[in-house]
Chain A
Amino acid sequence: MATTHSLTPAMQRQRSARMRRNMLYLVLLGLALLAPLAIYPVFLMKVLCFALFACAFNLLLGFAGLLSFGHAAFLATGGYFTGIMLSSYPGLTPEAGILIGTLAAVVLGTFFGVLSIRRQGIYFAMVTLALAQMVYFFFIQAPFTGGEDGLHGVPRGELFGLISLSDNLPMYYFVLTVFVIGFAIIQRTVHSPFGQVLKAIRENEPRAVSLGYNVDAYKLVAFVISAGLAGLAGSTKTVVFQLASLTDAHWHMSGEVILMTLLGGVGTLFGPVVGAGLVVSLQTQLAQSPIGNWVSVILGAIFVICVLSFRSGIVGEIQKLVRKNFK
C-alpha cells in the first residue's frame, strides 16, 4: 500500500488500534447473535437491558465524573410509560411504546439535570437521590401504576405491526438491536469532541471553565443522554417481561447499577456490560441454589473485594494488564 508509507508511526498505531477495536466489536456481535442457541434467551435479554442501563449510568460517572444516585427513576419512568401506553392503546406497536417511554425519561432527565448539575460530588448524589425518591413516591401513589402490585400483562405486540414478539427468539434479536443502538450512541458520544470535553470536565472542571467551555451545558447534555438511555433500557425491559414494578424505582436499583459499573470497570466502555452480566448471573444462579439466602451478602462481599483490591474493575484491570505487557 502506497498510502501506508506516508503515514507517521503514531497514525499507523492509531489505525491498527481502531482496526483491532472494530474486530473486537465484530467478534462480540457475532457471539451475541449466536448466544441464544446456547443460553436461555430471557436471561440474555435481562442481561442486555441491565447492561444498557449500566452503560448509560457509566456515561455520566465514568466520562463526566458525576455520580448520580437516582438513575432508578429514569429506568422506572421509561418502564411505566411504555407499560401504560402499550396496555391502554392496543394498536400501539412496541417500538412506538419504547420511544414514548424513552422520551418521558428524557423529559424527566432534563428536569433533574437542570436542578442538580450545579452541584458536585456528594451533593449531586444527594440531590439526585432526593428527586428519585420523589418519583418513587409518585409511582407508589399514582392510580395508574398499580401501586406496589405493579403494572402487569403488558402486551409484547408486533414489531412495526409485522413481526410477532411473543416468541423469545425474535424478542431477543429486537432487544439486541436496541442494545447495539444504545451502545453505539454511547460509543459515539465518548469518542466525539463532546466526549473529550466531558473528560476534561471530569479531570479538572475549573480548567475547562477557564478554557471557555460552558461546563453546565455540557454536563446537562450528558445527563439527559444518560437519562434517556436509562429510560430506553427500562422501556425495553417492560416489553420483555411484560410488567413494570416498583423494584425499578426503588433506590436499591440506583445502588445496584453503581455496583455493576464499579465491578465491571468505571470509565471503560465494556466494563458496565461485564458488570451487569456478572451481577445478573450471580443473582439468578445463587437465587436457585441452596445458598440462595446469601445473595445479598455475597454481592456485598464481592463489592468490598472489588473496591479493596481491583479498583478499576474487571475490564479496567484487563486493560491495564494489556497496556503494561503488550505495548
Chain B
Amino acid sequence: MIFNRKTLASSIALAATALVASGAQAQMSNDELRIGYLADMSGTYRDLAGPGGLEALKMAVEDVGGEVNGVPIEVFSADDRNSADVGANTVRGWVDQENVDLVAGMVASSVSIAVSKVLEEAGGLAIISGSAASSITNEHCTPNHIHWVYDTYPLANGTAKAVVEQGGDTWFMLTADYAFGHALEADVTKVVEQNGGEIIGGVRHPFPTSDFSSYILQAQGSGAKIVGLANAGSDTVNAIKTASQFGLVQSGQQLAGLLIFLNDVHAMGLEATQGLLLTTGWYWDMDEQSREWAQRYYDRVGKMPTMVQAGVYSSTMHYLNAVEAAGTDEAQAVRAQMAETPVEDFFARNGRIREDGRMVHDMYLAEVKSPEESTGEWDLYEIKSTIPADEAYRPLAESQCKLVQN
C-alpha cells in the first residue's frame, strides 16, 4: 500500500514536473533564446563597450549554464558603426529574420533611440548599457527598452553637487556647442546654483575641436575654482590633455569631467588626468564582489572592465533570471518580471527598474588618483562618496515620459 501510494505520488510529481517543463518550453518563442549584441565594434566607442561588452554578455550566458527554461541561449553580434541607420536596420533584420528576443549593448544615443523605436513597433525588448542621453528614458521612453548603467542626469547632478559641497563654488563651463553640450551645461548650472555655487564664466567650442589652447587659457584667466567640461569623447580627451599641458591643475584649479570612462583615463594616463572629479556607475576596485567579477573578466579580455561592460553582464543576468522566473521570453512579461525584482548584484546596489525604463542604482563620485597614489596599471580611481539611487537620477515627477502618470 505504502509502496503503491509512494509510486503514485512520485509518478504524479514526475508528470507534473514534465507538464511544467513542457509548458515552460512551449512559452519560449522558438527553440532558443536569442540575444543580439549591438555596439560600436570598430570606432571611437570600441574600448568603452565593443568586443569587451560582448565578452561580458557571453560570461553571463555561460554563468547560467548556456540555457534557460530548457532551451539553449544563442548570442550573436553586429557592429552599428555609430550610425542610427545601420543600427535600426540591423535590429529590424534581427526581428524579421532572426527572432531576436533581447537586444543588448548600444552606445551612441542616436542608435539607441532608433533601435528602441524599431522594437516598440515590433514588440521586442532592448537593454541599453552604453548610452549617455537621459532623453532615452525621458521623451524617448518606450515600454520596450530599459536603460541600465548611467545617464547624463546623475553625471551632471552627482559631479556638480559633490564638487560644490567640497568647496568648489565658482565654475567656468567649457561646453560643446550643440544640443548635448547645451543640455549638460544647463543641468550643471542648475545644480551648481541650487547648491550655492556660481557660474562665473564659460565658453562654447565647436563640435568637434582638436585645439583647446585658447579655451583653456580663458578658463585659467577666469579665476574659477572649477572648470566643468560639458562635452564628450575626443573633445573631453583633448580638453583634458590641453589643460594638463597648460598646468591647469597645478595652478590650483580643478577639472570636473562629466562624461569620462575608465578607458579614457587609462588611455590618457594619470599624469594628465590626476585630480579629475567624475561620477561613475561602477568601478572595478570598489569592493570585494566587484573585484572578483572584474578579475574573471580581466582573465578573459586582458583589460579591466568599464562600467558599461560590467553593466552588460549585470543586465543580461537580470534578464535571464527574469526569463526563468516568468517562464517565458515574451517581451512584456519579462519586462514586468524584471521590474518586480530589485537589482542587487556586484554591479548595482539598491537597483530597481522604474516604469520609464530607467534602472536607478547607487552612483559614485570618484577622483582620479595621482601617479604616486596609484599602485598598478588599472588603479585609477578613488571612490569619494556614494550618491544614493533615489537622489541620483531624474525624479519621475519631472519626467516627460509617456509611460509615467504625472
Contact = CB atoms under 8 A, between A and B. Distances in A.
Interface residues of B, number: 36
Contacts of A46: 89
Interface stretch (A210-218, A238-246, A262-270, A271-279): A238-246
Contacts of A153: 117
Contacts of A148: 109-110, 178-180
A177 interface: no
Contacts of A292: 41-42, 77-79
Instruction: For chain A, give the interface size range.
Output: 20 to 34
Contact of A241 (B88, B109, B140, B207): B88
Interface string B370-382: 0000000000000
A202 interface: no
A147 B180 contact: yes
A292 to B, nearest CB: 4
B301 to A, nearest CB: 14
Contact of A243 (B46, B78, B114, B180): B114
B81 interface: yes
A149 B138 CA distance: 13
Contacts of B46: 293
Interface string A240-264: 0111011110000000000000000
B396 interface: no
Contacts of A149: 109-110, 113, 133, 135, 140, 179
A295 interface: yes
A57 B84 CA distance: 23
B390 interface: no
A160 interface: no
B96 A293 contact: no
B78 A245 contact: no
Interface string B109-152: 11001100100000000000000010100001000000000000
27 contacts: A40-B96, A42-B89, A42-B93, A42-B96, A141-B177, A147-B178, A148-B178, A149-B110, A149-B113, A149-B179, A150-B110, A150-B113, A152-B114, A168-B96, A237-B85, A241-B85, A241-B89, A242-B88, A245-B84, A245-B85, A247-B83, A247-B84, A247-B86, A283-B86, A287-B78, A287-B86, A288-B79
Interface of A: 40, 42-43, 46, 137, 140-141, 146-150, 152-153, 168, 237, 241-243, 245-248, 283-284, 286-288, 292-296
The 10 closest A-B pairs by CB, nearest first: A147-B179, A245-B84, A247-B83, A287-B79, A292-B79, A288-B78, A150-B110, A293-B42, A150-B84, A287-B78
